[in-house]
Structure 1
Amino acid sequence: MPEELKGKDFCDPEDLFSQIQDEIAQIPTIYFDFDKSMLRNVHKKELERTAIMLKRMPNLMLYIEGHTDQRGDDAYNQKLSEEGRMR
């Protein structure tokens, strides 16, 4: 059993929900460098930590999405988005 769940009341859904919310709140916002669709190395560890959390809670589903910013026209940002999906 994960250390942070020891002492929790598994019959109290609010207690578990609070624990899950705390863990989800620790997932950082990840930014990409300008003109890049690859993750920065510093953020890979954050995503690995998130993957470990998801393995511990296999029924938890997260919606993860990415967006381009306003520093390019629509065609440029569309191309950049498609590059990211192909990796």
Structure 2
Amino acid sequence: MHNPELNSKIVGNVIASFRKSKGISQEVLSGFADIERTHLSAIERGERKPTLETLYCISTALDVNMSDIVKEIENQIDKN
């Protein structure tokens, strides 16, 4: 039986990519998403995985659908 595990580095890279494409700093995004900048930084480095609630706050702050972020995470997983 295969026990898949979500690669936190891929999740972090995708979130960072969305943030950078919007031209937003971690400081600004964390403020809009109402999370600590250090927490966002740890997520983007792959040291922490965001909860669904945190991912929703990030996606809302980026003005993108959470499903778009999830789809890109899935695309990156499929590439690896």
Fold shared by both chains (TM-score > 0.5):
no
Larger Cα Rg: Structure 1 or Structure 2? Answer: 1
Q: Where is the helix percentage greater, Structure 1 or Structure 2?
A: 2
TM-score category by the smaller chain?
under 0.3
Higher RCO (C-alpha 8 Å, min separation 6): 2
